[in-house]
Structure 1
Amino acid sequence: MGYHVIDPDDLESVDGRPCDLRRLSEAAGLSSVAINRFRADPGEQLPLAYHYHEHQEEAFVVFSGTLHVETPDGEFEVIEGEVFTATAEAPHRAYNPESADDAVEVIAIGAPPADDDAVAYDPDE
């Protein structure tokens, strides 16, 4: 049997990301779901770009602050305690606006896990 207690602050931050990203599922040895902790200061976004996933579904659980998510259907504001979901092929860009007073902390859950599933989306095309 495998059990783990993980403190995201004990994990290394992933280099080359627009905000602080800690990969929880990797640390726990999970292979069927991707679980990540994001901490975005004002003006930072969570993903590398506005995108969608061909196969992966995502849920963003907001633990503190307010997450803003840009979509073709409009912008969503997701407050502490709420969950934002995106089905496969649903474009989105999650961020913390520059006008925010505080950082936003989010646990992102994606299944199936997919490192090469993100497709860049241009809302102007």
Structure 2
Amino acid sequence: SLEGLDVFSHAWVLYAFNHNTDEGTSKQSNNKRGYTPKAKVAVPRLNGQLRGALATRTPHRPCALGLSVGTVESVSTDKAGRGVLVMGGLDCVDGTVVLDVKPYVPFVEALPSA
């Protein structure tokens, strides 16, 4: 399923915040997950001003999903024939659960006015 990804310089990675265990920043509730993320978080780049969680890149989100773009360093197969993707510049940690990978296509995704 990685065949052809090596022709792209960058790719999007959708991942789970599975290493985020800081439930101390969340308030307790009775939902299935056992906690509810705070609706607002302090943003370091805004000197701690509060913003809605969905307007930030905080890992403490209502749905613990992350999205990052990084460089495609290499695409290969291991001895068992499984695909191996090495990427750089992602804002997640080694061992993070990856849910999906999509090529970054500049003419579709680059928004100069953003």
When you count helix as a share of all residues, which structure comes out higher?
2
- TM-score, normalised by the number of residues in structure 1: 0.26
In terms of Rg, which structure is larger? Answer: 2
TM-score normalized by the length of structure 2 = 0.27
